[in-house]
Chains A and B, each alone.
Chain A
Amino acid sequence: MATERETDRGRFTITQSQRDRIARFVRKFRSNTKAMLGFSIVVLLVLVAIFAPIIAPYPIDATNIEDRSQAPSVEHPFGTDDLGRDIFSRVVMGSRISLYVGFGAISGALAVGAVVGVVAGYAGGLTDEILMRVMDAAMAFPPVLLALTLLVVLGPELSNVVIALAFVYTPYIARVSRSAALAERNEAYVEAAVARGESDSRIVFSEVFPNCMAPMLVQGSLNVSFAILAEASLSFLGLGAQPPRPSWGLMINTGRGFMETAPWMLLFPALAIGIAVVGFNMLGDGLRDVLDPKVEAIE
């Protein structure tokens, strides 16, 4: 593995050895049950979210007082809520919110965290100290508390949830990227680039960066599940998505008041959260097994 890696590091054109590497990755990925299972769940979720308006049999805000709080039936597979809305339709449409927040927040966190981490790891010294101490400070807050605080400032709205969670998860990505960059810094190909007289920024962004992608990818996909969970918690507390949006966390919050008479109001959105989180967790875990980067999961 190590020798083969050495030969093609830091090049952008796809060479034969890179093609081999990708083929090997695909082969390993496909033989990893966990990765494949997680991948299938994630793909399914994405498909549900894309085709949600077609899948959902009822409009999400179609209230029908006569049909309120009905147990699951053929017409309403997940039952109806206290306003007579079809829970199946709302859960299906809710997948859009969860994925929007999950992917949105982590893309933001990756964009900032990866740059901070790689720069800190490559530069070392004072730059590294300052950047990482700021990251440490952000990590000194429990994630949900920090997001809550930020939402107080930004206002309770879905797009702000994305911003707040991107902020919260940036340091986790930065940490992983930093240790990856730290390991790369002493590699022969970096020394070679320095000897060729390449500029620091070129070395960092076009040579070190691509080689740090694997651990970032793993951490990223694990963090998507955390972000989905966090969105549910925030919406549950009333600081995330606002009614009548079909956020799973918000639906659980409403369902809480009808636990004795209509437990399905709580059960199905909860199940949806569970499936989404299991999917991204499995994908992340599986990717870690396949890519084998030297990272520790930061729980």
Chain B
Amino acid sequence: MNFDYNEEQQLLADSVRRFIQKGYDFEARKKVVLSPEGYSESVWGTLAEMGLTGIPFSPDHGGFGGGAIDLLSVMEAFGEGLVVEPFLATLMGAQCVSRAGSDSQRKAILPAVVEGKLKIAFAFSEKGARYDLANVKTAAKKSGSGWTLDGEKAVVLGAPAAAKLVVSAKTLAGLSLFLVEAKAAKLRPYRTLDEMRAADVVLQNTPGELLGAEGKALPVIEAVVDFATALVCAEAVGAMKFSCDATLEYLKTRKQFGVPIGTFQALQHRIVDMYVAYEQAKSMAFLACSQADTAADAKERMRGISAAKIKIADNARLISQEAIQLHGGMGMSEELKVSHSFRRLTMIAQQFGDADHHLERFAGCG
């Protein structure tokens, strides 16, 4: 038992935090959000230089050979800084390639991702499917030596920035994954409530390249979405920390009736409950990342990650809502970062399955 970061993890955590403090403060972030692309190419270059885009990929492809545990502190820092770069999206797409792709596909894609030259998104969800990863209507059929895809994918995070998409689609053999050039598909991009960029993706006779075994994609999709779920759990912990710290600071400085409002016991107990919820969530983010990397089998992994997501979803609601309430009217304002962390936490609570979805899956794991 050891909750310490090792030296490499600690150095990484420190450098990410330093970068966010210096190069990605709330004002800098606002400019990125309002830019046409919604992310920053120069920030992306820095993330790659720091080695972040290579963490969960094999050294054979220039990566660090790490896992979710190694990304934990990075995602926490991203959550605290509310980083909107398409980092999670690219890791998801590239994880599909890393886990399912052939040697040549990996060689063609992963080094470019690690170096920060390629962004790639994972188009797995569809309207009407809610959180059911196997509920896919997009179809792929053989066409000459390759495949063509038809259908529509919904809320593909990071798609507007991506050059390539990994798309889940049904063939006669079942659920499969395909690599698609983003420019070959029709994208309808938008800003999400939490100020990231996503797109609905329309595929019409769009050429694709089979990624992994035909009809055998579900376990890969589940593993990648679980991996991403563990990462947003860690990100949520960072956003919770910011929400708690900002609220505590506000309680100490905001005066009413001639005294700081933090002297009122009604508010003291509420912020204590926020910090307790944050610590409990943090414990579960450790569990989620640990299970994403080292679970004995898929069932154990799903059980641990669902347990974590239930706690993260519940506590994200509690902390984000209380942060706004304790800030009073100021908490409602676009000007305050706490209204932005509110939106990110609100979305994380539902991203990759809300608490109800994960309660169902948790119970199914015994």
Q: Tell whether A and B belong to one assembly.
A: no
